[in-house]
Structure 1
Amino acid sequence: MPIEMILIHTKDQCIEIAKLAQEIWKEHYTPIIGEKQVDYMLNRFQSPEKIYSDISDNGFVYYAACDGPKFVGYLGLRPDEKGIFISKLYVKKEMRKKGIAQLLFQQAVIESRRLLPKNPVHQTIDHPCFWLTVNKNNNAIGFYKKIGFEISDEVVTDIGEGFVMDDYIMTCPIKR
Protein backbone atom coordinates (compact mmCIF):
# COMPACT_ATOMS: atom_id res chain seq x y z
CA MET A 1 0.00 0.00 0.00
CA PRO A 2 1.47 3.41 -0.90
CA ILE A 3 2.20 6.02 1.75
CA GLU A 4 -0.53 8.64 1.94
CA MET A 5 -0.18 12.21 3.26
CA ILE A 6 -2.99 13.31 5.59
CA LEU A 7 -3.49 16.95 6.61
CA ILE A 8 -3.75 17.13 10.40
CA HIS A 9 -6.52 19.34 11.75
CA THR A 10 -8.45 17.56 14.53
CA LYS A 11 -7.60 17.17 18.21
CA ASP A 12 -7.75 13.37 17.82
CA GLN A 13 -5.20 13.52 15.00
CA CYS A 14 -2.96 15.71 17.19
CA ILE A 15 -3.13 13.06 19.91
CA GLU A 16 -1.94 10.45 17.37
CA ILE A 17 0.91 12.73 16.22
CA ALA A 18 1.96 13.26 19.86
CA LYS A 19 2.00 9.48 20.43
CA LEU A 20 4.17 9.06 17.35
CA ALA A 21 6.47 11.84 18.58
CA GLN A 22 6.87 10.04 21.92
CA GLU A 23 7.90 6.83 20.16
CA ILE A 24 10.30 8.48 17.70
CA TRP A 25 11.89 10.92 20.14
CA LYS A 26 12.49 8.38 22.90
CA GLU A 27 14.16 6.00 20.43
CA HIS A 28 16.14 8.55 18.41
CA TYR A 29 16.99 11.44 20.72
CA THR A 30 17.60 9.77 24.09
CA PRO A 31 21.15 8.67 23.09
CA ILE A 32 21.86 12.19 21.75
CA ILE A 33 20.43 14.50 24.44
CA GLY A 34 19.38 12.22 27.29
CA GLU A 35 16.07 11.04 28.69
CA LYS A 36 15.36 14.11 30.84
CA GLN A 37 15.73 16.58 27.97
CA VAL A 38 13.70 14.33 25.65
CA ASP A 39 10.86 14.19 28.17
CA TYR A 40 11.01 17.95 28.71
CA MET A 41 10.97 18.72 24.98
CA LEU A 42 8.15 16.26 24.29
CA ASN A 43 6.02 17.85 26.99
CA ARG A 44 6.83 21.39 25.90
CA PHE A 45 6.85 21.09 22.09
CA GLN A 46 5.16 17.83 21.09
CA SER A 47 2.11 17.48 23.35
CA PRO A 48 -1.31 17.12 21.69
CA GLU A 49 -2.28 20.54 23.06
CA LYS A 50 0.86 22.23 21.70
CA ILE A 51 0.46 20.62 18.28
CA TYR A 52 -3.20 21.65 18.10
CA SER A 53 -2.34 25.18 19.26
CA ASP A 54 0.42 25.43 16.65
CA ILE A 55 -2.10 24.48 13.95
CA SER A 56 -5.05 26.54 15.16
CA ASP A 57 -3.24 29.63 16.50
CA ASN A 58 0.34 29.79 15.21
CA GLY A 59 0.14 29.22 11.45
CA PHE A 60 1.61 25.72 11.39
CA VAL A 61 0.58 23.05 8.91
CA TYR A 62 1.02 19.40 9.91
CA TYR A 63 0.89 16.28 7.77
CA ALA A 64 1.05 12.64 8.77
CA ALA A 65 2.61 10.04 6.52
CA CYS A 66 0.26 7.06 6.71
CA ASP A 67 0.86 3.44 5.86
CA GLY A 68 -2.75 2.31 5.72
CA PRO A 69 -4.35 3.51 8.94
CA LYS A 70 -1.01 3.84 10.81
CA PHE A 71 0.87 7.13 11.21
CA VAL A 72 4.51 6.37 10.38
CA GLY A 73 5.94 9.88 10.09
CA TYR A 74 4.99 13.52 10.30
CA LEU A 75 5.84 16.99 9.07
CA GLY A 76 5.22 20.35 10.71
CA LEU A 77 5.97 23.61 8.93
CA ARG A 78 5.01 27.27 8.84
CA PRO A 79 5.71 30.25 6.62
CA ASP A 80 7.89 32.99 8.08
CA GLU A 81 10.09 35.93 7.06
CA LYS A 82 12.71 33.63 5.47
CA GLY A 83 10.36 31.33 3.58
CA ILE A 84 9.20 28.06 5.15
CA PHE A 85 10.38 26.84 8.55
CA ILE A 86 10.35 23.03 8.75
CA SER A 87 9.78 22.53 12.44
CA LYS A 88 9.19 18.78 12.39
CA LEU A 89 10.17 16.00 9.97
CA TYR A 90 10.23 12.62 11.66
CA VAL A 91 9.82 8.98 10.61
CA LYS A 92 9.44 5.84 12.75
CA LYS A 93 12.64 3.80 13.01
CA GLU A 94 11.34 0.73 11.16
CA MET A 95 10.08 2.93 8.31
CA ARG A 96 13.31 4.88 7.75
CA LYS A 97 15.27 4.51 4.53
CA LYS A 98 12.07 3.73 2.60
CA GLY A 99 11.64 7.16 1.03
CA ILE A 100 9.10 8.44 3.57
CA ALA A 101 11.22 11.40 4.71
CA GLN A 102 11.63 12.31 1.04
CA LEU A 103 7.83 12.15 0.59
CA LEU A 104 7.36 14.38 3.63
CA PHE A 105 9.80 16.90 2.17
CA GLN A 106 7.97 16.75 -1.17
CA GLN A 107 4.81 17.61 0.79
CA ALA A 108 6.66 20.64 2.18
CA VAL A 109 7.47 21.69 -1.40
CA ILE A 110 3.79 21.36 -2.37
CA GLU A 111 2.76 23.38 0.69
CA SER A 112 5.30 26.10 -0.12
CA ARG A 113 3.56 26.68 -3.46
CA ARG A 114 0.28 27.15 -1.62
CA LEU A 115 1.56 29.16 1.36
CA LEU A 116 4.14 31.54 -0.09
CA PRO A 117 1.92 33.44 -2.54
CA LYS A 118 -0.65 34.06 0.23
CA ASN A 119 1.83 35.70 2.58
CA PRO A 120 2.58 39.37 1.70
CA VAL A 121 5.92 39.14 3.52
CA HIS A 122 7.14 36.68 0.90
CA GLN A 123 6.58 39.10 -1.94
CA THR A 124 9.58 41.07 -0.64
CA ILE A 125 11.92 38.07 -0.24
CA ASP A 126 14.30 37.70 -3.18
CA HIS A 127 15.35 34.15 -2.33
CA PRO A 128 12.94 32.35 -0.01
CA CYS A 129 14.22 29.13 1.50
CA PHE A 130 13.23 26.14 3.52
CA TRP A 131 15.07 26.21 6.80
CA LEU A 132 15.30 23.99 9.84
CA THR A 133 17.33 23.39 12.94
CA VAL A 134 18.96 20.02 13.54
CA ASN A 135 20.97 18.77 16.49
CA LYS A 136 24.67 18.74 15.63
CA ASN A 137 24.86 15.02 16.51
CA ASN A 138 21.78 13.95 14.54
CA ASN A 139 22.52 11.53 11.69
CA ALA A 140 19.62 13.11 9.75
CA ILE A 141 22.10 15.82 8.67
CA GLY A 142 23.23 13.48 5.88
CA PHE A 143 19.64 13.13 4.64
CA TYR A 144 19.12 16.90 4.64
CA LYS A 145 22.35 17.42 2.67
CA LYS A 146 21.26 14.75 0.19
CA ILE A 147 18.01 16.61 -0.57
CA GLY A 148 19.74 19.97 -1.04
CA PHE A 149 20.12 21.56 2.39
CA GLU A 150 23.35 23.21 3.47
CA ILE A 151 24.55 24.18 6.93
CA SER A 152 24.27 27.95 7.08
CA ASP A 153 24.81 28.67 10.77
CA GLU A 154 25.05 27.24 14.28
CA VAL A 155 22.83 28.17 17.20
CA VAL A 156 22.59 27.28 20.87
CA THR A 157 19.08 27.96 22.17
CA ASP A 158 18.12 28.02 25.83
CA ILE A 159 14.78 26.19 26.08
CA GLY A 160 14.38 26.44 29.84
CA GLU A 161 14.87 24.17 32.85
CA GLY A 162 18.65 24.21 32.22
CA PHE A 163 18.32 22.61 28.77
CA VAL A 164 19.72 23.92 25.48
CA MET A 165 19.41 22.91 21.87
CA ASP A 166 22.84 22.82 20.18
CA ASP A 167 21.88 22.92 16.52
CA TYR A 168 22.89 23.65 12.99
CA ILE A 169 20.63 25.85 10.95
CA MET A 170 20.26 24.31 7.50
CA THR A 171 18.72 25.99 4.47
CA CYS A 172 17.54 24.95 1.03
CA PRO A 173 16.35 27.36 -1.69
CA ILE A 174 12.67 27.26 -2.60
CA LYS A 175 12.25 27.08 -6.35
CA ARG A 176 9.35 29.25 -7.50
Structure 2
Amino acid sequence: MAAWQAALKWAGEHWSPAPHLHFVPAQQEDLPMVEALAREIWPQVYRELISADQIQYMLGLMYNVPHLEEEVRTRGVRYQLIREEDGSMVGFLGWELEAGSGANHSTALLHKLYVKPNQHSRGVGASALAHVIAEATIAGASTLQLRVNRQNRKAIRAYLRAGFEFEEDRCTDIGGGFVMDDHVMVKRL
Protein backbone atom coordinates (compact mmCIF):
# COMPACT_ATOMS: atom_id res chain seq x y z
CA MET A 1 0.00 0.00 0.00
CA ALA A 2 2.86 2.41 0.77
CA ALA A 3 4.35 1.89 -2.72
CA TRP A 4 0.93 2.62 -4.27
CA GLN A 5 0.58 5.85 -2.28
CA ALA A 6 4.16 6.88 -3.16
CA ALA A 7 3.42 6.32 -6.86
CA LEU A 8 0.24 8.41 -6.63
CA LYS A 9 2.12 11.20 -4.84
CA TRP A 10 4.84 11.16 -7.52
CA ALA A 11 2.22 11.35 -10.29
CA GLY A 12 0.54 14.29 -8.57
CA GLU A 13 3.82 16.18 -8.24
CA HIS A 14 4.80 15.60 -11.88
CA TRP A 15 1.53 16.54 -13.48
CA SER A 16 0.91 19.85 -15.25
CA PRO A 17 -2.48 21.44 -15.93
CA ALA A 18 -4.09 21.38 -19.36
CA PRO A 19 -3.42 24.80 -20.94
CA HIS A 20 -6.48 24.58 -23.21
CA LEU A 21 -8.94 24.98 -20.33
CA HIS A 22 -10.53 28.08 -18.88
CA PHE A 23 -12.34 28.26 -15.54
CA VAL A 24 -15.13 30.79 -15.93
CA PRO A 25 -16.84 32.09 -12.78
CA ALA A 26 -20.54 31.33 -13.16
CA GLN A 27 -22.80 34.33 -12.83
CA GLN A 28 -26.48 33.99 -11.96
CA GLU A 29 -27.37 33.78 -15.66
CA ASP A 30 -24.90 30.85 -16.01
CA LEU A 31 -26.55 28.65 -13.38
CA PRO A 32 -28.94 27.08 -15.93
CA MET A 33 -25.79 25.86 -17.72
CA VAL A 34 -24.59 24.27 -14.46
CA GLU A 35 -27.96 22.53 -14.14
CA ALA A 36 -27.85 21.40 -17.79
CA LEU A 37 -24.32 20.03 -17.43
CA ALA A 38 -25.30 18.14 -14.26
CA ARG A 39 -28.32 16.63 -16.03
CA GLU A 40 -26.05 15.53 -18.90
CA ILE A 41 -23.16 14.23 -16.81
CA TRP A 42 -24.80 12.58 -13.80
CA PRO A 43 -26.76 9.82 -15.59
CA GLN A 44 -23.58 8.75 -17.38
CA VAL A 45 -21.22 8.92 -14.41
CA TYR A 46 -23.46 7.52 -11.68
CA ARG A 47 -25.48 4.88 -13.59
CA GLU A 48 -23.36 2.05 -12.17
CA LEU A 49 -23.04 3.56 -8.68
CA ILE A 50 -26.60 4.50 -7.70
CA SER A 51 -30.06 3.80 -9.07
CA ALA A 52 -31.64 5.84 -11.87
CA ASP A 53 -34.33 6.89 -9.38
CA GLN A 54 -31.70 8.22 -6.97
CA ILE A 55 -29.92 10.06 -9.79
CA GLN A 56 -33.15 11.83 -10.76
CA TYR A 57 -34.00 12.53 -7.12
CA MET A 58 -30.59 14.09 -6.41
CA LEU A 59 -30.61 16.14 -9.62
CA GLY A 60 -34.01 17.54 -8.65
CA LEU A 61 -32.89 18.18 -5.09
CA MET A 62 -29.46 19.74 -5.65
CA TYR A 63 -29.19 20.93 -9.25
CA ASN A 64 -32.23 23.07 -9.89
CA VAL A 65 -31.48 26.74 -10.52
CA PRO A 66 -33.29 28.07 -7.39
CA HIS A 67 -31.22 25.71 -5.20
CA LEU A 68 -27.97 26.71 -6.92
CA GLU A 69 -28.88 30.40 -6.49
CA GLU A 70 -29.59 29.79 -2.80
CA GLU A 71 -26.18 28.13 -2.33
CA VAL A 72 -24.46 31.11 -3.94
CA ARG A 73 -26.47 33.68 -1.99
CA THR A 74 -26.47 32.14 1.49
CA ARG A 75 -23.25 30.12 1.63
CA GLY A 76 -21.03 31.80 -0.94
CA VAL A 77 -20.60 28.71 -3.12
CA ARG A 78 -18.41 29.62 -6.07
CA TYR A 79 -19.48 27.89 -9.27
CA GLN A 80 -17.21 27.81 -12.29
CA LEU A 81 -17.75 26.45 -15.75
CA ILE A 82 -14.91 24.52 -17.36
CA ARG A 83 -14.54 25.70 -20.94
CA GLU A 84 -12.30 24.55 -23.78
CA GLU A 85 -10.52 27.14 -25.94
CA ASP A 86 -13.14 26.59 -28.65
CA GLY A 87 -15.86 27.70 -26.20
CA SER A 88 -17.37 24.28 -25.53
CA MET A 89 -18.33 23.55 -21.93
CA VAL A 90 -16.83 20.32 -20.64
CA GLY A 91 -17.77 20.45 -16.96
CA PHE A 92 -18.22 22.52 -13.84
CA LEU A 93 -17.11 22.80 -10.25
CA GLY A 94 -18.44 24.38 -7.08
CA TRP A 95 -16.65 25.11 -3.81
CA GLU A 96 -16.90 27.34 -0.74
CA LEU A 97 -15.02 28.39 2.35
CA GLU A 98 -16.61 26.68 5.33
CA ALA A 99 -18.69 29.01 7.47
CA GLY A 100 -17.07 29.80 10.80
CA SER A 101 -13.54 28.95 9.71
CA GLY A 102 -11.04 30.89 11.75
CA ALA A 103 -8.31 33.15 10.42
CA ASN A 104 -5.54 30.67 11.23
CA HIS A 105 -7.34 27.59 10.01
CA SER A 106 -10.05 27.51 7.41
CA THR A 107 -11.50 24.71 5.40
CA ALA A 108 -12.61 24.91 1.81
CA LEU A 109 -15.32 22.46 0.78
CA LEU A 110 -15.29 21.10 -2.75
CA HIS A 111 -18.94 20.24 -3.38
CA LYS A 112 -18.94 19.54 -7.08
CA LEU A 113 -16.41 18.68 -9.75
CA TYR A 114 -17.97 17.06 -12.80
CA VAL A 115 -16.51 16.54 -16.25
CA LYS A 116 -18.27 15.14 -19.30
CA PRO A 117 -17.32 11.47 -19.66
CA ASN A 118 -15.99 12.01 -23.20
CA GLN A 119 -13.42 14.35 -21.62
CA HIS A 120 -12.18 11.84 -19.02
CA SER A 121 -8.50 10.87 -19.16
CA ARG A 122 -7.60 14.16 -20.87
CA GLY A 123 -6.43 16.02 -17.75
CA VAL A 124 -9.62 18.07 -17.40
CA GLY A 125 -10.52 16.76 -13.94
CA ALA A 126 -6.94 17.01 -12.70
CA SER A 127 -6.70 20.58 -14.03
CA ALA A 128 -9.97 21.49 -12.35
CA LEU A 129 -8.79 20.01 -9.07
CA ALA A 130 -5.47 21.87 -9.28
CA HIS A 131 -7.42 25.06 -10.03
CA VAL A 132 -9.63 24.64 -6.93
CA ILE A 133 -6.60 23.85 -4.77
CA ALA A 134 -4.90 27.06 -5.96
CA GLU A 135 -8.03 29.18 -5.44
CA ALA A 136 -8.71 27.75 -1.98
CA THR A 137 -5.11 28.38 -0.98
CA ILE A 138 -5.29 31.99 -2.21
CA ALA A 139 -8.56 32.41 -0.27
CA GLY A 140 -6.71 31.41 2.91
CA ALA A 141 -7.86 27.81 3.33
CA SER A 142 -5.47 25.44 5.02
CA THR A 143 -7.52 22.35 4.19
CA LEU A 144 -9.63 21.26 1.22
CA GLN A 145 -12.34 18.72 2.00
CA LEU A 146 -14.64 16.77 -0.30
CA ARG A 147 -17.08 13.90 -0.26
CA VAL A 148 -16.93 11.14 -2.86
CA ASN A 149 -19.25 8.18 -3.35
CA ARG A 150 -17.55 5.16 -1.79
CA GLN A 151 -18.05 3.17 -5.01
CA ASN A 152 -16.56 5.84 -7.30
CA ARG A 153 -13.13 4.25 -7.62
CA LYS A 154 -12.04 6.38 -10.57
CA ALA A 155 -12.66 9.63 -8.66
CA ILE A 156 -11.08 8.23 -5.49
CA ARG A 157 -7.90 7.39 -7.44
CA ALA A 158 -7.80 10.91 -8.86
CA TYR A 159 -8.16 12.44 -5.40
CA LEU A 160 -5.45 10.19 -3.97
CA ARG A 161 -3.14 11.21 -6.86
CA ALA A 162 -3.78 14.84 -5.93
CA GLY A 163 -2.69 14.23 -2.34
CA PHE A 164 -6.04 13.77 -0.61
CA GLU A 165 -6.32 11.37 2.32
CA PHE A 166 -9.29 9.54 3.79
CA GLU A 167 -10.70 11.26 6.87
CA GLU A 168 -13.92 9.37 7.60
CA ASP A 169 -16.89 7.61 6.06
CA ARG A 170 -20.25 9.35 6.18
CA CYS A 171 -23.67 8.00 5.27
CA THR A 172 -26.29 10.75 5.04
CA ASP A 173 -30.04 10.34 4.68
CA ILE A 174 -31.10 12.73 1.90
CA GLY A 175 -34.80 11.89 1.94
CA GLY A 176 -36.89 10.02 -0.57
CA GLY A 177 -35.59 6.73 0.83
CA PHE A 178 -32.05 7.51 -0.40
CA VAL A 179 -28.67 7.99 1.26
CA MET A 180 -25.33 9.38 0.19
CA ASP A 181 -22.69 6.82 1.19
CA ASP A 182 -19.41 8.73 0.96
CA HIS A 183 -15.78 8.89 1.93
CA VAL A 184 -14.78 12.27 3.31
CA MET A 185 -11.33 13.10 1.96
CA VAL A 186 -9.04 15.99 2.86
CA LYS A 187 -5.92 17.64 1.55
CA ARG A 188 -3.74 19.90 3.65
CA LEU A 189 -2.88 23.04 1.69
TM-score with structure 2 length normalisation?
0.81
CA distance in 1, matches of 2:71, 2:88: 22
1:110-149 superposed matches below 5 A: 110-116=134-140, 128-139=142-153, 140-149=155-164
State the percentage of identical aligned residues.
28
In structure 1, the residue matched to 2:120 is 96
Give the superposition deviation at 1:54: 1.3
CA distance in 2, matches of 1:73, 1:39: 19
SS in 2 for 1:78: strand
SS in 2 for 1:168: strand
In structure 1, the residue matched to 2:67 is 50
CA distance in 1, matches of 2:69, 2:138: 21
Long gaps (5+) in structure 2:
1-18
CA distance in 2, matches of 1:144, 1:170: 8
CA distance in 1, matches of 2:31, 2:87: 15
SS in 2 for 1:33: coil
- Tell me which of 161, 168, 174 is aligned to 2:183: 168
Q: Is the 8 A contact 1:9 1:52 kept in 2?
A: no
Deviations 1:28-84 (A, max 9, x none): 112211111100101111112222221222210011110122210111000013510
Structure with the larger RCO, 1 or 2 (CA within 8 Å, 6+ apart): 2
Long gaps (5+) in structure 1:
117-121, 123-127
Matched to 1:18, the amino acid is E
Q: Does 1:74 align with 2:89?
A: no
Give the superposition deviation at 1:24: 0.9
Q: Is the 8 A contact 1:9 1:55 kept in 2?
A: no
In structure 2, the residue matched to 1:24 is 41
Moved over 4 A (4+): none
- Tell me which of 142, 164, 168 is aligned to 1:153: 168
CA distance in 2, matches of 1:46, 1:30: 17
The count of residues paired between Structure 1 and Structure 2 equals 163
Matched to 2:134, the amino acid is I
